């Protein structure tokens, strides 16, 4: 628990979403043994209420938020996994400034707009029907049903719900030609869509796009691996979110995908051909070859880690 306690010093409990997600992470790792740690940390917030906090703790049931999320959040605020340490005054001031900005008039307006977008996203998802879609067909999944919204008789959009801290915050909409858009004002930072195989010993995998997630899911299933695939919707968001496991990057001519993968510090795989992603590789070579390429890559990573251990 000492490592977690050290990291907690770099996270503010003032904002409720962060407060809740950190509680989920602690409980997922330590169970009720972590409650006192979370409560002590929570008391730093002026809004802290003992009975409310105890009730919220009891409500945590496991939502895929793990202790790795806590460490990732702490690292974003300057924590380094190098023994006991305390945040500098400069780091504390930076956190306070960020909280104050979000509490400002402009920040509150952005939050209001984001909440409105989240409500619209939920409404759109409620209107969706499960059916085939041209985009899925173009990506090699013509037999797969997707969630499709028809805002007009001549228009059908494949809709991918986007969540942050277990809540729907937006939606990615993809038309038949593959054009993608989000709702105006919605939260995209730290938002994701997950394919979760469930069970024990689940490994996190991080990709940019939904089609990449579909191809990776088929391949990991073929390898009989337990997985949680995080679709991050952009290279920048992948760089912010990826905290454990593996990255499957896009091979962009601009090197955006490569640079994002490197920035995570995690092992990453990407296809050799410039301008392609794992879905392109999967369509070209099929499930068997793609899964075997990933298997060989994982073996090489394991051998390398054992060598340097």
DSSP strands (E only) in the chain = 129-131, 146-152, 155-164, 167-174, 180-182, 193-196, 203-207, 227-231, 246-248, 268-269
**How many Cβ atoms are within 10 Å of 102's Cβ, its own excluded?**
14
Each domain of the chain, given as residue ranges in start order, spans 2-103, 107-182, 193-308
**What is the value of pTM for the model shown?**
0.73
Edge-to-edge strand list for the sheet holding 246-248: 193-196, 227-231, 203-207, 246-248, 268-269
- Beta strand 203-207 with 193-196: parallel, antiparallel or unpaired? unpaired
What is the pLDDT at residue 274? 96
Phi, psi of 16 (to 5 degrees): -60, -40
Residue 265, classified by CB atoms within 10 Å of its CB into exposed (0-12), middle (13-18) or buried (19+), is exposed
Give the SS3 label for residue 13: coil
The Cα 41–Cα 268 span in angstroms is: 35
**CA separation, residue 24 to residues 31, 60, 167, 293 (Å):** 9, 6, 13, 36
242: left (phi over 0), alpha (psi -120 to 50) or beta: beta
Task: Going residue by residue through the chain, which has 309 residues, state the pLDDT in tens, using 9 for 90 and above.
Answer: 888 998 999 998 988 888 988 999 999 899 999 999 999 999 998 889 999 999 999 988 766 678 888 988 888 888 887 766 678 888 888 877 777 777 677 778 888 899 999 999 999 999 999 999 999 999 999 999 999 999 998 899 999 999 987 789 999 999 999 999 999 999 898 899 999 987 778 899 999 999 999 999 999 999 999 999 999 999 999 998 898 899 999 999 999 999 999 999 999 999 999 999 999 999 999 999 999 999 999 999 999 888 776
Q: What is the CATH number of domain 193-308?
A: 3.40.50
């Amino acid at each position: 628990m000492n490592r977690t306690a050290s990291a907690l010093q770099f996270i503010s409990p003032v904002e409720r979403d962060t407060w809740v997600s950190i509680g989920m992470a602690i409980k997922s790792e330590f169970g009720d043994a972590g409650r006192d740690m979370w409560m002590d940390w929570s008391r730093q917030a002026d809004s802290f209420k003992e009975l409310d906090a105890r009730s919220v703790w009891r409500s945590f049931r496991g939502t895929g938020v793990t202790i790795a999320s806590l460490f990732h959040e702490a690292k974003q605020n300057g924590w380094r996994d190098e023994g006991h340490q305390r945040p500098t005054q400069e780091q504390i001031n930076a956190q306070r400034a960020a909280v104050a900005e979000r509490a400002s008039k402009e920040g509150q307006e952005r939050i209001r707009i984001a909440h409105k977008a989240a409500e619209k996203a939920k409404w759109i998802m409620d209107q969706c029907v499960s059916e085939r879609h041209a985009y899925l067909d173009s990506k090699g999944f013509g037999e797969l049903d997707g969630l499709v919204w028809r805002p007009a008789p001549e228009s059908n959009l494949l809709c991918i719900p986007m969540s942050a801290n277990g809540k729907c915050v937006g939606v990615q909409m993809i038309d038949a030609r593959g054009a993608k858009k989000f709702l105006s004002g919605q939260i995209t930072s730290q938002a994701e869509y997950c394919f979760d195989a469930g069970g024990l010993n689940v490994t996190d995998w991080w990709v940019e796009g939904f089609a990449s997630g579909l191809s990776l899911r088929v391949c990991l299933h073929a390898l009989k691996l337990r997985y949680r695939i995080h679709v991050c919707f952009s290279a920048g968001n992948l760089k912010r979110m990826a905290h454990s496991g593996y990255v499957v990057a896009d091979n962009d001519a601009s090197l955006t995908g490569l640079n994002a993968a490197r920035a995570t510090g995690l092992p990453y795989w990407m296809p050799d051909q410039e301008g392609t992603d794992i879905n392109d590789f999967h369509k070209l070579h099929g499930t068997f070859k793609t899964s075997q390429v990933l298997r060989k890559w994982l073996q090489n990573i394991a051998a390398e880690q054992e060598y340097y251990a």
